Amino acid sequence: MPKENVTTVRHGNLTWTDIVHPDMELLKKIGKKYKFHPLDLEDCLSEVELQRPKIDDYDDYLFIVLHFPKYNKRSKRVEQSELNIFVGQNYVITVHREHKPLSDLFDEAKKKKKIREEYMSKGSGFLLYSIVDDMIDECFPMSEKLLLNVNAMEKEVFDFENTRDRLKEILGTKKDIINFRRIIMPQRVAIAQLEHKNKKFLPEDLDVYFEDIVDKVERLYSSLENLSELIDSLQNTNESIISHNTNNVIRVLTIFSVILMPLTLLTGFYGMNVKLPLDQYPQAVSIIAITMALIALTMIAFFKYKKWL
């Protein structure tokens, strides 16, 4: 487990604290300072798979749990990353397990005064909007990357000269799309609820901003729906092509088997250790070979006539 990292940046009377890889001892100190509910602190340490996006509204603060997709370079798959946010009158506290886009944003705010002024000069509610908006924006390049992968696989699938089976790649991309959709779908409701929460921290003039985020989430989810339909169609097409190629192979093998059946019968008949027709002629082998060739050519001509070849 990486060591926890607590960093703070200030602008005016607003403080943004970013906590990476927290433990309970650290969270208790933070909770005691800001008087956070113990259950909220436990939620920050819960397994990501067991949590659901939510917004808890208190008199003195908001506690928000959101999930965002991240790309795992080791597994090369889309995974779920949890972001916990405490929003008070003069502070925002983000708690996560190394969500890189958020860490990059925080580092930018820490280094550049212009970013601090843009994000932190209009209160904690606007800073919350800016953080969530940037995290949603980071999802679109991932969606576009999935689209590029699907388009590349589509070209390969319909390249009939390339008969390689692409089922593994298709199923891997399909899993990414399913995970992406599963992460984004609950966020639609959670983010929409921000418009109706404590106006002390989220004033009414921010409603239009959060509506913009909801629109982005809807567009993102709609693109994922289209990707899901596209990858399903691509999988069905790939399976149809595989089935067609398999049938072609089986047809050729069947034709070979059918052609060899009478030839095998003929050679087996003349392989018996008894007196047979033509065995007194020196040209018997040539006659039998010519007969076998005529049988094979006749059968091939018949298959072509029936359009089986």
Helix (H) or strand (E) holding 173: helix 167-193
Task: Say whether pLDDT at 86 is over 90.
Answer: yes
**pLDDT-based confidence at residue 1 (cuts at 50, 70, 90):** very low
Residues of the chain above pLDDT 70, percent: 88
**177-216 pLDDT per residue, tens:** 999 998 898 888 888 887 666 566 667 677 888 888 889 9
Give all domains of the chain, ordered by start, each with its CATH number: 5-243 (3.30.460.20), 270-305 (no CATH)
SS3 per residue for 56-82:
EECCCCEEEEEEEEEEECCCCEEEEEE
Beta-carbon contacts of residue 34 (< 8 Å; ≥ 6 apart):
60, 61, 86, 88, 91, 93
Between 134-143, 225-234, 250-259, 268-277, the lowest mean confidence (pLDDT) is in: 268-277
- In angstroms, rounded to a whole number, what is the distance separating the alpha carbons of residues 160 and 26? 59
Task: Name the residue type at position 134.
Answer: D
* pLDDT of res. 3: 45
Between 5-9, 65-69, 74-78, the lowest mean confidence (pLDDT) is in: 74-78
**257-280 pLDDT per residue, tens:** 888 888 777 777 767 665 667 666
Rounded to 10 deg, the angle between the 100-111 and 113-120 helix axes is 110
* pLDDT of res. 275: 67
Beta-carbon contacts of residue 18 (< 8 Å; ≥ 6 apart):
5, 6, 7, 8, 9, 93, 94, 102, 103, 106
> Which tokens belong to 120?
């932190």
Strand spans (E) along 88-125: 91-96
- In angstroms, rounded to a whole number, what is the distance separating the alpha carbons of residues 291 and 136? 76
Of 195, 15, 174, nearest to 106 by C-alpha is 15
Task: Say whether pLDDT at 129 is over 80.
Answer: yes
